[in-house]
Structure 1
Amino acid sequence: MTIGEGAAIAAARAIAAREGHPPWREDTVNVTRRTVAGRDVWSVRTDDAPALGEPDWAIPYDGFTLYLIDIETGACIGIGGAFGQRLFGPDGR
């Protein structure tokens, strides 16, 4: 059984909360299907929201996070950003 884009976004939200990542700008969430390390994944890209009281232009250009969600299991297999990506080991970290 495979998961859809909505479930991939929910999985990305869960890992973001677990890892203490900054909030997202909801209008920037983008989901694409990719193959990473031989696995089909949903790539969920999000831009960081500005800090409370900060204008949008205060966000760094490279302030985005990429969550790699396995299409078959719904597990987050890695996280990336402007400077590359990190795949998790078998223990999920």
Structure 2
Amino acid sequence: MTHYGKIKSYDSSSGTGSITPEKGGDVLRFKKADLQQEGQMPKVDQRYSYETSEVDGAKKSAVNLQHQQGYEQTLKEQASNQQG
């Protein structure tokens, strides 16, 4: 099942980060290897789709993360339209 969330943090030196689910719940960890576009650095507040994985009863983590292109632009356009 695909979920959506925003990047909360990303540490390029360790290749790990966290994502906050849009529908609420615990922040999920992810690794650079879990990004579909490994060459792209995730940035705070970028919207990503993801799936969850739980291994041997450990905490859930986000996997198969994919940046949702155009989402930030849509927000900017909405803000611009509201300002007149």
TM-score, normalised with respect to structure 1: 0.25
Max radius of gyration: which structure?
2
Provide the TM-score with structure 2 as the length reference: 0.26
